[in-house]
Amino acid sequence: MAESIHVQELHDRYQIQARWTEELRARLLAHLGSAPQRRVLEVGCGTGVVLSDVQQRYALSTFGLDIDLQVTRFARHHDPSLTLVVADGCRIPFPNRAFDATICHYLLLWVASPLAILLEMARVTRVGGRVMALAEPDYGGRIDYPPELAELGRRQQTALGARGADTQVGRKLRGLFHQAGLREVWAGILGAAWPPSEPHDELRSEWATLEADLRGELSDDELAGLRPTEEASRGAGSRVLYVPTFYAVGIVAEHT
């Protein structure tokens, strides 16, 4: 039961993250049109949030791959129409040039060799097709305001690094795409905006994620002491939390 609750929490978080990149996906996938014969693979598909959206919105033939059996089972249960495989993104079990596009979403910061993943994504994408990393954060560029909350950002980066994350993968993304032999690489940073009121589920998810990341890095008392400052600054409209989140797109060349 505890495992299923954990995966549901991940799914809820992935749904929020997918909202952040919805506009970008629409722009980058527009070239495929709505054609069932067009094949798209998501590497590191998690609970299937992005994959389901791509399939439903664009009527494309979609495939998902994730190394985690538990989240893959959840994805299958949540959307039985998905075609999923449990495998390592460094060894994608599909033939060369099998897809028109391959995508990943908040994946490369968690892998030991992002370049190995990108090389495999390029291998299974047809010549002229696109490899897309839709969101890779860079905690090294994080901004926290008011200043007394900056310690949250510093300690979160330390905690994520201790868990194996490359917390500065965002700034490396463009170079990694070039190293993978992709051409016409186009990279950027997702836009940031602070609306008059932020969705309640995003605020709740943000703090829950922070607590999970900082478990063992800050004591419960330290976290509890910072939360009133966080809530007061949001109530006053002064809270700024910004983590630059990069994306990149490259075209597969003949020699890739």
Chain mean position to CA 172:
15
DSSP 13-24: HHHHHHHHTHHH
> Which residues are registered as beta bridge partners of 248?
133, 187
Question: Is 256 among the domain residues?
Answer: no
> What percentage of residues in the chain have a pLDDT greater than 70?
96
For residues 231 and 121, the model is more confident at 121
For residues 117 and 192, the model is more confident at 117
Question: Is 87 among the domain residues?
Answer: yes
Residue type, 218: L
pLDDT of residue 2: 42
Q: pLDDT of 68-81, one tens digit each?
A: 999 999 999 999 99
**Sign of the C-alpha dihedral computed for residues 235, 237, 243 and 247 taken in this order:** positive
Average pLDDT for 214-241: 85
Using an 8 Å Cβ cutoff, are 50 and 69 in contact?
no
**Sign of the C-alpha dihedral computed for residues 15, 21, 24 and 29 taken in this order:** negative
pLDDT of residue 250: 97
Question: Is 146 among the domain residues?
Answer: no
Q: pLDDT of 175-214, one tens digit each?
A: 999 999 999 999 999 988 888 877 788 888 888 888 888 8
Of 1, 15, 137, 2, the C-alpha closest to 75 is 15
CATH number of the domain residue 128 falls in: 3.40.50.150
Q: How far apart are CA 67 and CA 190, in angstroms?
A: 27
Question: Is 159 among the domain residues?
Answer: no
Question: Is 34 among the domain residues?
Answer: yes
Q: How far apart are CA 180 and CA 115, in angstroms?
A: 6
pLDDT of residue 4: 55
pTM above the 0.85 mark? yes
Question: Is 202 among the domain residues?
Answer: no
Query: Residue 197 to residues 18, 78, 200, 239: CA-CA distances in angstroms?
Result: 19, 30, 9, 12
pLDDT of residue 34: 62
Q: Which domain holds residue 85?
A: 2-139+164-191+243-251
Whether 32 has a pLDDT exceeding 90, the answer reads: no
pLDDT of residue 36: 62
How many structural domains compose the chain?
Answer: 1
Residues in CB range of 160: below 8 A, 6 or more apart: 109, 139, 167, 213
pLDDT of residue 219: 82
Using an 8 Å Cβ cutoff, are 233 and 239 in contact?
yes
Question: Is 238 among the domain residues?
Answer: no
> What percentage of residues in the chain have a pLDDT greater than 90?
64
For residues 57 and 32, the model is more confident at 57
Neighbours of 131 (CB within 10 A): 29
Average pLDDT of the chain is: 90
Average pLDDT for 150-174: 93
- Report residue 148 as tokens: 């007394």
Of 79, 103, 80, the C-alpha closest to 29 is 103
For residues 84 and 218, the model is more confident at 84
Using an 8 Å Cβ cutoff, are 121 and 179 in contact?
no
Residue type, 102: T
Whether 256 has a pLDDT exceeding 70, the answer reads: no
Whether 52 has a pLDDT exceeding 80, the answer reads: yes
pLDDT of residue 234: 86
pLDDT of residue 3: 53
Place of tokens 């538990």: 70
Question: Is 82 among the domain residues?
Answer: yes
- Report residue 183 as tokens: 């051409």
